[in-house]
Amino acid sequence: MSSIKIVDIATANPPLKLTQEEILNRILKSPLRSAREKKLYTKFLTEPSIRTRYVAIEDQPEKLFEETQDEAIDRFQVQATRLGAQAVKKLLRRTGLKPHDIDGIIITTCTGYLCPGLTSYISQAVGLREDIYALDMVGTGCGAALPGMKSAWQYLTAHADSRVIVLAVEICTATSYWNEDLDLIISNSIFGDGAAACLLTNRGESAGLEIREFQSVLWPQYRDELRYVTKNGRLLNVLKKDVPSLAASAFHRIYQRLTKDFTVKIDRMAVHPGGRKILDEIEAISPFGGEALRRSRSVLARYGNMSSPSVLYVLRDILHKDNCQT
């Protein structure tokens, strides 16, 4: 069997693009936000590492301040389907493929729950085959694109001459919750909406990035540092101050494992742009220096943290702008 490769990546964002300054102005004008909230939002929204974010809402953005849970769930279903289908269709156009050429689709999300899952909605919207291998991965958080890709790799290992799309789609703003809690204020200051579709194949004629190895760490003892909790039927993001150092520790552990078994030179890294402090902590312990994180910082500046699609945006830029093919 041929090696398994990442052929291409396509992304999609909603039409509404807001600068951090525009978001701050809307918050400062809102009678629903307290003086403490406005002071903290002024601090975080003027931090220069993020310039713009995308919001998947058809009403005025201020609607988020009073969106009900039912409205948020409905918005997730509509917007996740729309953005996900846009990313997949764009990927098919870029690769010259038709919907019937795809053998599997794996979709990751953590910002909404649907049953049947998004694979049902996306398959219908795109026109994928009825015998397609479909897998929904829900609740694996910001890092979900990687287990999604590993699942695709496992499928391709067992099925010759196949193509699988991994789609990461998040409507982070559908989990917005507004009060004076610092975790929530930080979350509302950095997260945005987006989708990224990645094509993997074991067909020998395809160029792309060859997948050599997967490594991961599972640290349940730190679960309470970064998670969703449910309050009054809504998802609330928990984002503690130790997350940047924990992310750097996880990076170091995985890097050690990878370099132990391989002598391949590593000159580029697609690191999840979870926030400036996370990237700073990783840069501080990385042997590559700041240039290796240039693409991650650029994605953070242009899109904010979109959760699971974010690292695929970084990998997209490495593929398209750095011309990394094998």
> Within its chain, how far is the Cα of 260 from the centroid?
28
**pLDDT > 70? residue 223:** yes
Residue 56 pLDDT > 70: yes
Domain 213-321 architecture: 3-Layer(aba) Sandwich (3.40)
Q: What average pLDDT does the segment 148-152 reach? A: 98
CA–chain centroid gap for 234, Å, is: 21
Q: Are 193 and 83 in contact (CB under 8 A)?
A: yes
Distances (CA, A) of 120 to 98, 134, 175: 18, 8, 22
Give 173 or 58, the one with higher predicted confidence. Answer: 173
Specify which of 193-197, 238-242, 288-292 reaches the highest per-range mean pLDDT. 193-197
Distance CA 174, CA 191 (A): 11
For the question of whether the overall pTM of this predicted structure is more than 0.85, the answer is yes
* Cα separation, 24 vs 43, whole angstroms: 10
Q: What is the pLDDT of residue 326?
A: 55
Residues 279-302 have a mean pLDDT of 90
Residues 287-298: what's their mean pLDDT?
86
Q: Which of 11, 277, 6 is nearest to 170 (CA)?
A: 11
12 beta partners: 195
- Asked whether the beta carbons of 185 and 40 are under 8 A apart, the reply is yes
Torsion of CA 241, 242, 246, 249, to 10 degrees: 120
The SS3 call for residue 39 is: helix
pLDDT for 266 equals 75
Residue 229 phi/psi, 5° resolution?
-120, 160
Q: What is the pLDDT of residue 325?
A: 60
Instruction: Assess whether the previous peptide bond of 116 is cis (omega < 30° from 0).
Output: yes
- How does the average pLDDT of the chain come out, rounded? 93
Domain 5-201 has CATH 3.30.360.10: no
Would you list the domain boundaries of the chain? Answer: 5-201, 213-321
Mean pLDDT of 228-248: 90
Q: Are 9 and 312 in contact (CB under 8 A)?
A: yes
Of residues 265 and 321, which shows the higher confidence score? Answer: 321
Tallying the residues shown for the chain, one arrives at 326
Whether 213-321 and 5-201 are alike in CATH topology: the answer is yes
